[in-house]
Every structure is written in structure tokens, then in C-alpha cells.
């Protein structure tokens, strides 16, 4: 892997460009997930040849300090030795059995132990499957149809969740994507995040028709938006009072904000939790869990149907177990959060010295940097941050060998593989790029 000097340079990306041209003739948009296409930042996506620790190397041999980390899963960095060993050992024993296996039980036990709000957990293959399934179970449990979500929270691409507020504060959803029937979206009520009044009004009005309220306790899909003091407590109280199942979508915050997720950090006990990303150690794993009386409704124990060919896949489970066995060790989060804090402070300092207005928000080792001088507390304030500036900064940092997420609406992440010199190089590059943008 060519050592990067993290100085701005014109990247040679000939091979990536050729691959992207070919990929676009075979795969919609040339990517298997839209955000990877660089549409929000301009330019063509880089095709990655290999990765190790905190570094990515593209097919043209350029290497980058990586803060995307596969959108959150790689809390140990790329290809950690113990995870690769566990995956290799599991794969040599067969890649899938279509039958229960010991790995599922081990990972389930680790998760239930880490999340006291969960009596039981069911594995699926993505965060989307986890949230989609949790909502179905909540509807089965309450025999109600409507759901509440918050503007800007992303819970995967299940039809009913691709809904946004119509006009006004809290309204029945309208589809955000063609292909989603009005009838699906209209069962989804959308409320502005951090707006306690709008939430209270809609629950007082519709409470008895609402099956569940699902939210990202820290919103990682409009950047990184932190709940205002009392907001999560208010949500817990209102949902309790009206028999609404409270679902914490911790696909991103689970084992990231803290080992026990945002629910540990903010000391709130949801009725159900969705997980993903970190628990698969980079392999496709999602999970949903909750109280026994809710989880007992799931087939074959109960009547609510949910299934999956590769759910509980032994190789994916092995990657998750190896990951959790490392991050649950004492001191892991303290060290990771120290590194993350150093980056947060350094980026703030670089922006100040470059006389650039930014707002940086961090929870644990997930964070984001908005180009704005206004506080960001919800979707509109996140949207009002400078998109063009973000795109220019993204491209500049990439030219220095620093890989941030290619959208201002994404959080970025650190891993235990990020070194002191990675952080120092990133901060220096940030100052250089911001200064060059003045
Ligand atoms: P997946 O279906 O992508 O595994 O998970 C959906 C999901 C659910 N809930 C939360 C809070 C999530 O952040 C996600 C997926 N996150 C995005 C990144 N912001 C995945 C990246 C992508 O879509 O390519």
C-alpha cells in the first residue's frame, strides 16, 4: 500500500473511472447503494482494492485514512486480525447450514447481556429487515396500524418508512419514493425531530391508533443530531402512557455510542431495539429484540411471520462475536472516545484558524461537521448547512488522502485502528483545505 503523505494532490483514478463506466452498464447508477455514487459531492466514486486498519486503498493504488468504515460497522478498522481469523475458521466449517448453529446462540447471548431492555433477539440480514420486522411485530402486538417516525431519521428502505411529512408539523406521511403506495405512507406519521410539542399534540390526538414510534436516538442520517435534554424522556413517557411500542433504531448507535448503545448513554429503556452494522463486524447482520411479551409473538413461537434464508449465518455470526469480544473489554470505549474527542477538538480548531464557520457534533465515536454557524437540531437546520462548501471540502480532503462520507447528511466514524498520526494528519489537512477554500 503506497504511504500517503496526506498532502493535496491530483489523484490518478484511471482504473476507478474505467470500472465505474463498466459498472454503470451493469448496475443501476454503477453502485449497490446510492450514497456511494458521490452524487452529493461530485466526481466519480473510487473502487476499493483492499483495506487494512484505518486505511483504504483504491484500485489505482491511492490510500486514504477512512472515516466511513463501511458506514459504521468497522469499529475495529478494516480486516482486524481476530475477526478475519474467526471468519476464516467459521467459513472452513461451511458457509451456511440452513439450520440453527452455536454461533447464533453465542451472539444472541452477548447482545441480550449488553441490552437489558432485550429479553430476546432475532437475527436478520440488514438494518432494513430489522426495522421492518420490528414494526410488524409492534403492529401485531398492539393490533394498531399507524406508526410515528421523525423527519430526517432513516430506518432503511422498507416501504412504510420511505415517507416524509406532508405540509405542517406532524402529518400523515407522503411517499418519498415512487413505488411506495399512498396507503403505506399514509399510515406513517412524521414529526420534526426534537419537537416535543408537535409530538405531544399528535400523540394526544392519535395515540390510541398508533402501534409504535421508531427513532434514531441520535440521528446519524442527517449528519449527527443529538436529542435535546428531556426529549427522549418525553418520548418514553408519552409512548408508555398511550400503549405505543417504543422502538430505538440503534442500527448505527448500537455498540457505537456506547457498548450498550444510546439507551445506555441516555438511560432510556425502549420496548424494542433494532441493531446492525457493528454486530456483523462488516458482514451482513441485522437484529431486532425486545421484551419477552412482544418477542413471543414472532413465528414460530407466535403468529407474526418473519423469516430469512441466511439469518443467523454462521460466518456472519462469527464476525460479530469476534468483534464484540474485543470491544467489550474494559477501556475500549474510553480509548476510542478519547481519539474521537481529539479529532473533534482538532477539526474545530482548524476551522477557527481558517476562519470558517462549522458546527461539529459528536456522540462517542460517531460525529459530523456541518458548514454553518447555526445550531443543528433537526432536518431543516441540517439542510440549511452549506452543501457546496461540504462538497468542496470532501473533494479537497480526498485529494489529501482522507476519506469522509460523500454526503453532508452522513455521520463519520472512528475505529480503534485510527492512530495519533492519522488524527494529526486529518486535522492538518482540514486546516490546509479550509484555508485553500477561503
Ligand atoms: P441497512 O439496511 O443499510 O443495513 O440499514 C438501514 C439503516 C437502518 N437504521 C439506521 C439508523 C441506519 O443508519 C441504516 C443505514 N445507514 C446507512 C448510512 N447512513 C447505510 C449506508 C447506505 O445506505 O449505503
Q: What is the pLDDT of residue 1?
A: 44
Give the whole-number percent of the chain exceeding pLDDT 90: 92
| Nearest atom within ligand 1 for CA of residue 156 | 6
Q: What is the pLDDT of residue 168?
A: 56
Active-site residue 7, yes or no? no
Residues 380-403 have pLDDT tens digits of: 999 999 999 999 999 999 999 999
Residues 72-119 have pLDDT tens digits of: 999 999 999 999 999 999 999 999 999 999 999 999 999 999 999 999
- The CATH number for 14-43+57-75+331-437, chosen from 3.30.565.10, 2.60.40.10, 3.30.930.10, 3.90.1150.10, is 3.90.1150.10
Q: What is the pLDDT of residue 408?
A: 94
Residue 250 Cβ < 6 Å to ligand 1: no
CA pair distance 383, 408, nearest whole angstrom:
9
Active-site residue 277, yes or no? yes
Using the mean position of ligand 1's atoms as its centre, give its distance from the Cα of residue 273 in Å: 15
Please check the confidence at residue 273 and state whether its pLDDT lies above 50.
yes
Residue 73 Cβ < 6 Å to ligand 1: no
Using the mean position of ligand 1's atoms as its centre, give its distance from the Cα of residue 127 in Å: 6
Q: Where are the domains of the chain?
A: 14-43+57-75+331-437, 81-327
pTM recorded for the entire structure: 0.97
Q: What is the pLDDT of residue 2?
A: 47
Bridge partners of residue 246, in order along the sequence: 213
Residues 395-431 have pLDDT tens digits of: 999 999 999 999 999 999 999 999 999 999 999 999 9
Active-site residue 149, yes or no? no
Residue 154 Cβ < 6 Å to ligand 1: yes
Q: What is the pLDDT of residue 176?
A: 84
Q: What is the pLDDT of residue 170?
A: 60
Select which of 277, 359, 389, 408 is catalytic: 277
Report in angstroms the alpha-carbon separations of 218 from 39, 154, 353, 355: 25, 11, 29, 29
Please check the confidence at residue 344 and state whether its pLDDT lies above 80.
yes
Question: Ligand 1 atom 21: the closest Cα is on which residue?
Answer: 71
Average pLDDT, the chain: 95
3-state secondary structure the chain: CCCCCCCCCCCCCHHHHHHHHHHHHHCHHHCCCHHHHCCCCCCCCCCEEEEEECEEEECCCCEEEECCHHHCCCCCCECCHHHHHHHHHHHHCCCCCCCCCHHHHHHHHHHHHHCCCCCEEEEECCHHHHHHHHHHHHHHHHCCCEEEEECCCCCCCCHHHCEECCCCCCEECEECCCCCCHHHHCCEEEECCCCHHHHHHHHHHHHHHEEEEEECCCECCCCCECCCCCHHHHHHHHHHHCCCEEEEECCCCECCCECCHHHHHCCCCCCEEEECHHHHCCCCCEEEEECHHHHCCECCCCCECCCCCCCCCHHHHHHHHHHHHHHCCCCHHHHHHHHHHHHHHHHHHHHHHCCCCCEEEEECCEEEEECCCCCCCCHHHHHCCCHHHHHHHHHHHHHCCEECCCCCCCCEECCCCCCHHHHHHHHHHHHHHHHHHC
User: Which residue from 38, 154, 193 has its CB within 8 A of the most atoms of ligand 1, so it is best to mutate?
Assistant: 154
Residues 123-138 have pLDDT tens digits of: 999 999 999 999 999 9
Residues 137-185 have pLDDT tens digits of: 999 999 999 999 999 999 999 999 998 765 555 666 778 888 998 888 8
Using the mean position of ligand 1's atoms as its centre, give its distance from the Cα of residue 202 in Å: 27
Q: What is the pLDDT of residue 171?
A: 65
Question: Ligand 1 atom 17: the closest Cα is on which residue?
Answer: 71
Give the whole-number percent of the chain exceeding pLDDT 70: 97
- To the question of domain 81-327 being in CATH 3.30.420.40, the answer is no
| Nearest atom within ligand 1 for CA of residue 35 | 24
Amino acid at each position: 500500500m503506497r504511504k500517503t503523505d496526506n498532502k493535496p494532490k491530483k489523484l490518478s483514478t484511471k482504473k476507478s473511472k474505467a470500472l465505474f463506466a463498466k459498472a454503470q452498464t451493469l448496475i443501476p447508477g454503477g453502485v449497490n447503494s446510492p450514497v456511494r455514487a458521490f452524487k452529493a459531492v461530485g466526481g466519480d466514486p473510487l473502487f476499493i482494492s483492499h483495506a487494512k486498519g484505518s486505511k483504504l486503498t483504491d484500485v489505482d493504488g491511492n490510500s486514504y485514512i477512512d472515516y466511513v468504515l463501511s458506514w459504521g460497522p468497522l469499529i475495529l478498522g478494516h480486516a482486524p486480525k481476530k475477526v478475519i481469523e474467526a471468519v476464516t475458521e467459521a467459513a472452513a466449517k461451511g458457509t451456511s447450514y440452513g439450520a440453527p448453529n452455536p454461533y447464533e446462540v453465542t451472539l444472541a447471548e452477548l447482545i441480550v447481556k449488553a441490552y437489558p431492555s432485550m429479553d430476546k433477539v432475532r437475527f436478520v440480514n440488514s438494518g432494513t429487515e430489522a426495522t421492518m420486522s420490528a414494526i410488524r411485530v409492534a403492529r401485531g402486538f398492539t393490533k394498531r396500524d399507524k406508526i410515528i417516525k421523525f423527519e430526517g431519521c432513516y430506518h432503511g428502505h422498507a416501504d412504510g418508512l420511505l415517507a416524509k411529512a406532508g405540509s405542517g408539523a406532524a402529518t400523515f406521511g407522503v411517499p418519498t419514493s415512487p413505488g411506495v403506495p399512498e396507503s403505506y405512507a399514509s399510515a406513517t406519521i412524521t414529526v420534526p425531530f426534537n419537537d416535543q410539542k408537535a409530538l405531544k399534540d399528535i400523540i394526544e390526538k392519535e395515540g390510541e391508533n398508533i402501534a409504535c414510534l421508531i427513532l434514531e436516538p441520535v440521528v446519524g442520517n442527517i449528519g449527527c443530531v443529538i436529542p435535546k435534554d428531556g426529549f427522549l424522556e418525553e418520548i418514553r413517557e408519552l409512548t408508555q402512557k398511550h400503549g405505543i411500542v417504543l422502538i430505538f433504531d440503534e442500527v448505527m448507535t448500537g455498540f457505537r455510542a456506547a457498548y450498550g448503545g444510546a439507551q445506555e448513554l441516555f438511560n432510556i429503556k425502549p420496548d424494542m431495539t433494532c441493531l446492525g452494522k457493528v454486530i456483523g463486524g462488516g458482514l451482513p447482520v441485522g437484529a431486532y429484540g425486545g421484551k419477552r411479551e412482544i418477542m413471543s409473538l414472532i413465528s414460530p413461537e407466535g403468529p407474526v411471520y418473519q423469516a430469512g434464508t441466511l439469518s443467523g449465518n454462521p460466518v456472519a455470526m462469527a464476525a460479530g462475536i469476534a468483534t464484540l469480544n474485543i470491544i467489550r473489554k474494559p477501556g475500549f470505549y474510553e480509548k476510542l472516545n478519547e481519539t474521537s474527542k481529539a479529532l473533534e477538538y482538532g477539526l474545530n480548531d482548524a476551522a477557527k484558524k481558517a476562519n470558517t464557520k462549522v458546527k461539529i457534533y459528536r456522540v462517542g465515536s460517531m460525529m459530523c461537521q456541518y458548514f454553518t454557524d447555526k445550531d443543528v437540531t433537526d432536518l431543516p437546520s441540517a439542510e440549511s448547512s452549506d452543501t457546496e462548501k461540504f462538497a468542496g471540502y470532501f473533494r479537497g480532503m480526498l485529494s489529501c488522502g482522507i476519506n469522509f462520507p460523500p454526503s453532508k447528511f452522513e455521520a463519520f466514524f472512528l475505529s480503534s485502528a485510527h492512530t495519533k498520526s492519522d488524527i494529526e494528519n486529518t486535522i492538518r489537512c482540514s486546516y490546509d483545505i479550509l484555508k485553500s477554500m477561503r
